[in-house]
Structures are given as C-alpha cells and as structure tokens.
Amino acid sequence: MAHAQTDPQARQELAIAAVEAKTRKDVSWQELADAAGLSVAFVTAAVLGQHALPADAARAVAERLGLDDDAALLLQTIPLRGSIPGGVPTDPTIYRFHEMLQVYGTTLKALIHEQFGDGIISAVNSKLDVWKVDDPGGGSRAVITLDGKYLPIKPF
C-alpha cells in the first residue's frame, strides 16, 4: 500500500542524513542509482525528498548509505513535493534555472503551444538527464534534457 507524507519535515531530515552518509561513505549519486536500478536523476530527487522509491530500490539505497529500516521505509513514502520554499531562490545554481525560466519561460510556452496545442508538459511523467560536455571554446558545458509527456487541455 502506498503511504503519503503530510509534513515535509521527516523527508527533509532524512535527506540531510542521507547526504551526510553519502559524503562520509564517499558514494556518488550514480552509485546510488546503480544500486537502486533506476536513473540517477530519479534516485537523486528521491533521496532529496522529491520522489518515493520502490521498496527494493529504497532498501538498496538505505543499505548502501548505512541507513536503517525506518529510513528505507520513509524513502518509499510519497512526499510533499517542492524543494524550494517561497520566493526567488538564493542558491546560485538554482537561481540560474529560475533566471532561465524568467528569460525563456514565455518562449518555451509559445513554442510548446504552437507545436502541441493548449496543454502542459508533465513534471510527473517526465525524464531528466544531465551530462558534461567539452566546450569548443574551452571549459565545459552542462547539457540538460527534460523529457516530459504532453497533456492536452480537454474541454468539458
């Protein structure tokens, strides 16, 4: 049976403990994803309190981090989602995504509606990938792919 959280505090505390354990054990997000048998983006989001993990994946992640059975059970609960409390984010990395949406949000909306019609791109039914590539001009570039299912507005 699926169980849902009604208060984000327990998952936030677990996220803090999990990140501390990840650091102490020098484990990468990819290693946790490999143990769970799921994508690195999904497992990272789950450990940070934004998704529920299937039971076997939750047990594998908890074991790899040295967390107890209660932590494995909590990783399976459906969280209260939303990791950025009110207002404009102040963390520079997160703020830049906010900035990108401020600049390109209306462009993305216009292009999506022109190509698909009236509707939304689902965050619930989506995939995320992040990878590093060389910049021909020197340094590195981040390539981020968001692959979300289009859900049309249905008149009723």
Q: What residues act catalytically? A: 96, 99, 122
User: What span, in angstroms and rounded, lies between the C-alpha atoms of 98 and 101?
Assistant: 5
**137 token code pair:** 């001009």
- What is the C-alpha separation between 47 and 3, in angstroms, rounded? 17
Q: Is 49 exposed, middle or buried (0-12, 13-18, 19+ CB in 10 A)?
A: buried
Reduced to 3 states (helix: H, G, I; strand: E, B; else coil), residue 119 is: strand
CA distance 28 to 65: 11
Q: Which residues contact 71 (CB under 8 A, 6 or more apart)?
A: 14, 17, 18, 62, 65
Q: What's the CA gap between 120 and 90, in Å, rounded?
A: 27
